[in-house]
Amino acid sequence: MHRPRTSIELAVGGEAGARLTGHLRMQTSPNTILCLVRRLPLPSVDRLRAVSIDDWAVRKRRIYGTLLVEFDRRCPINRLPDRTGATVTDWLGRRPSIQIVARDPSTEYARAAAAGASAALRVADRWHHILNMRQALERWLGRVHGRLRQLLTLDLHRTFAEVVAWEDGRLRHAGRVDMTRGGLESFARTLRADDEVVIEVTGNAMVVSHLLRQHAARVVIANPLQVKAIAHAHVKTDKIAAGVLANLYAAGFLP
């Protein structure tokens, strides 16, 4: 089986006054480099104050060990052959100087830290705190996403209005509405109680605003002086104009 090759470059220098200087390139494989790295001695540690415990994959989904990192120097100090509580408990028990043990949420590591370093402060590490908060936020957003407010912008014309929705930081074309009382009332009934609507000042903006306010949480009429980006745009379409309004409002540039 063909294995990828790589190279390592060594600096070669002569003694004082010698002209032999340059670089030597040797072909090798990634596995060879990993073997050499694994043979390097681990740093010696006299007294440990704080350590972090996490698992590491020897073979992903099949064989796992335990990695221990010293907080103060932020470097690995040992690798245990498995991730069982007994192995970690034994390692911690032989190091009474440890005052802080940070770990992942594994119950196996929790029991090992309690048994092997009962006097130490035991905490979940920062990376797993952030991961847990992100996962909790994603679960919450998944449950309430349908109830979150929606921002709609209308670019008004004499016979129709172009509608653009701003959701999750993205613009989505939401179609057109007929500029008739029936068309506007039908559109207004699709709004949710916490939706917000932005429209640009036109001759019929007040009528549209009055109809929509009965169904939306807020209706904002944008002053043309505040949306010069639309007036000065080199390419202007109804969708682009409505999209600019949505972005300006979402960024807080409209009242």
Q: Are residues 59 and 18 in the same domain?
A: no
Mean pLDDT of 181-206: 83
User: From CA 14, how far away is CA 107, in angstroms rounded?
Assistant: 58
Question: pTM for this structure?
Answer: 0.41
Q: Does residue 11 surpass a pLDDT of 70?
A: no
Q: Are residues 134 and 48 in the same domain?
A: yes
| Domains held by the chain: number | 3
Q: Are residues 98 and 119 in the same domain?
A: yes
| Residue closest to 55 by CA, chosen among 113, 117, 103 | 103
Q: Is residue 74 part of a domain?
A: yes
Q: Is residue 255 part of a domain?
A: no
Q: Are residues 136 and 66 in the same domain?
A: yes
Site of tokens 């309004």 = 245
By CB atoms closer than 10 A (0-12, 13-18, 19+), residue 83 is buried
Q: Number of C-alpha atoms within 13 angstroms, CB side, residue 244? A: 18
Last residue of some domain: 111, 144, 177? 144
**How many degrees, rounded to 5, is the angle at CA 78 between CA 75 and CA 81?**
140
Q: Are residues 133 and 158 in the same domain?
A: no
Q: What local confidence, expressed as pLDDT, does residue 172 receive? A: 78
| Residue closest to 98 by CA, chosen among 122, 76, 75 | 122
The CATH number of whichever domain residue 230 belongs to comes to 3.30.420.40
Q: Which tens digits make up the pLDDT trace of 35-44?
A: 887 888 766 6
Q: Is residue 200 part of a domain?
A: yes
Mean pLDDT of 212-238: 63
Do 100 and 51 touch, CB atoms closer than 8 A?
Answer: yes
Domain housing 12: 1-40
Do 95 and 81 touch, CB atoms closer than 8 A?
Answer: no
| Mean of pLDDT over the chain | 76
Q: Are residues 49 and 131 in the same domain?
A: yes
Paired with 65 in beta bridges are 56
Q: Which tens digits make up the pLDDT trace of 138-174?
A: 787 666 555 555 678 788 888 888 888 876 656 778 8
Q: Is residue 202 part of a domain?
A: yes
How many other CB atoms are there within 10 angstroms of residue 158's CB atom? 9
Q: Is residue 199 part of a domain?
A: yes
Residue 24 banded pLDDT, cuts 50, 70, 90: low
Q: Does residue 204 surpass a pLDDT of 60?
A: yes
